[in-house]
Amino acid sequence: MNKTDVLIIGAGPTGLFCAHQLGIIGLSCEIVDNLDKAGGQCIELYPDKPIYDIPAVPECTGEELTNSLLKQIKPFNIKFHLNERVEELNKNQNRWHVKTSAGIEFDVAAIVIAGGVGSFVPRKFSVKECEKFEGNSLFYSIKDKSIFKDKTISIFGGGDSALDWAIELSNESKVNLIHRRDGFSGVEASVQKVKELNEKGKLNLYTKYQMDTVLGDKKIESVKIKHDEGEIQEIKSDYVLGFFGLIMQLGPILDWGLNINKKTVEVNTENFETNVQGIFAIGDICSYPGKLKLILSGFHEGALAARGCFKYAKPDEKLRFEFTTTSKAAQERLGIKK
Amino acid sequence: MAKITYHTHNNKIHTIDVQNGLTVMEGAIQNDIPGIDADCGGGMACATCHVYVKEEWLDKLPAKEDGEEDMLDMAFEPKINSRLSCQLIISDELDGLEVDIPSKQG
């Protein structure tokens, strides 16, 4: 059981800055994120795209912003739990008992949801029959590539994941790569490599085809693919892999008794607490009259939510408002030596 | 100003006057037309504002910019007439445009 003052759900810019604000006022926190790294949408959706509206930062990329925020919270030694999704919340007297997808448990005084537009999950095939085989002979990510040795694999998609796995698996498996158009979004070197392997007969490339259906009893035996013009081919397959990027889903947050409005959580604007005491929501996931989905708004919301957490974490103490420029306590927490 | 008609997957039809300069995506969001999520807010960084454009409009729309086709690879059931509605900027020329909203975005 991890005991800490506050659990932050989401390691995007808003969650990271809220951790900073908690640290400044002397509260401890830990952060859970479903992705394998901190940064949220900044890292997953636009690491290289410039942002121009962070106060006092004329221009920076999503990645630079994330790195700066991580540097800013370094003094607090905050523990991250990545590749984890918060699944369950239970109120236990005055505290919250939280459980993640991998069974990690937390005992916290308050929870700050900084979950953006939800957790990133793989986008799936639209064909209904695919569900039956998911996790058995149809996958959206690869954990153990050894199961594919000497098998026939049909890979769908045109991005880097699809291309990289097609190239990699073509060494020891028979690979079909199926994509909806002639162009690919993956890097040019991989595209050239795939075309070269196709010409040498090391893999079979099908472009302008999409999944029609999968056939099989307990496991997949073949897959039917449909050309833009309507022609259908059936190709033998032991495994099917789909790489269509990630989509954001609110997930378990929907089950926590919060007031949800159009995929966002309603909060007050005094301290960004939800309708459930001790649960706060900040950043893109929260809504209130006048809400702007800007990173700078998320920073403001995080600062106020952190102070809102104080009364749950230290019910017998009174929070004093202080500036970091003059507060000895804040500077000590930041590890500043004079 | 242009009249844009959105057909939702449950066969409901919404015809709305959308101001020039807004996008087809924004027209839907501002008028609470269901089925266009626009998770990334118009940054061409997701594919949840995906629509099917009525065939006769395909050639009349501004061409896809770099990146739109890449994002459409990620869309739910993309077709030849797929577009990201955040990339369709309203002008008088788009008056009468009709789009179908897919049954879901992910």
Architecture of domain B2-100: Roll (3.10)
Q: Sorting pLDDT into bands at 50, 70 and 90, what band is B46?
A: confident
SS3 label, residue A63: helix
A 53-112 residues with CB < 8 A to B: none
Q: Which of A123, A179, A210 sits opposite B106 (nearest CB)?
A: A123
Superfamily of domain A124-244: FAD/NAD(P)-binding domain (3.50.50.60)
**Tell me, what's the pLDDT at A91?**
94
The reply to whether residue B73 touches residue A117, judged by beta carbons under 8 angstroms, is no
Q: What is the ipTM of this complex?
A: 0.79
A180 touches chain B (CB under 8 A): yes
The reply to whether residue A45 touches residue B70, judged by beta carbons under 8 angstroms, is no
For residue A180, the chain B residues in CB contact (below 8 A) are 73, 78
Q: Sorting pLDDT into bands at 50, 70 and 90, what band is A108?
A: very high
Domain boundaries, chain B: 2-100
Domain boundaries, chain A: 2-121+247-333, 124-244
The residue length of chain B stands at: 106
Of A161-175, A258-272, B61-75, the least confident: B61-75
- Which residues in B have their CB inside 8 Å of a CB on A? 37, 39-41, 43, 45-48, 69-70, 73-74, 76-78, 80, 105-106
**Tell me, what's the pLDDT at B65?**
87
The residue length of chain A stands at: 338
The reply to whether residue A157 touches residue B73, judged by beta carbons under 8 angstroms, is yes
A245 touches chain B (CB under 8 A): yes
The residue with tokens 């495994």 is: A239
Closest CA in chain A for residue B45? A45
- Summarize pLDDT for A36-65 with one digit per residue, the tens: 999 998 988 778 889 999 999 999 999 999
Cβ distance B72 to B45 under 8 Å? Answer: no
Closest CA in chain A for residue B80? A228
Among A52, A53, A123, most B C-beta atoms within 10 A, so best to mutate, is A123
The reply to whether residue B74 touches residue A245, judged by beta carbons under 8 angstroms, is yes
A158 touches chain B (CB under 8 A): yes
Cβ distance A73 to A45 under 8 Å? Answer: no
Within 10 angstroms of residue A190's Cβ, the number of other Cβ atoms is 17
How large is the angle between the packed helices A295-313 and A13-24, nearest 10 degrees? Answer: 40
Of A39-48, A49-58, A328-337, B20-29, the least confident: A39-48
Cβ distance A181 to A164 under 8 Å? Answer: no
The reply to whether residue A123 touches residue B77, judged by beta carbons under 8 angstroms, is no
**Tell me, what's the pLDDT at A151?**
97
Residue A325's contacts (CB-CB under 8 Å, 6 or more residues apart) are none
A157 touches chain B (CB under 8 A): yes
Q: Sorting pLDDT into bands at 50, 70 and 90, what band is A235?
A: very high
The reply to whether residue A49 touches residue B37, judged by beta carbons under 8 angstroms, is no
Q: At residue A111, what are phi and psi to the nearest 5 degrees?
A: -125, 135
**Tell me, what's the pLDDT at A221?**
97
How large is the angle between the packed helices A62-73 and A13-24, nearest 10 degrees? Answer: 20
Architecture of domain A2-121+247-333: 3-Layer(bba) Sandwich (3.50)
A244 touches chain B (CB under 8 A): yes
| DSSP codes, A152-216 | EEEEE-SSHHHHHHHHHHTTTSEEEEEESSS--SS-HHHHHHHHHHHHTTSEEEEESEEEEEEEE
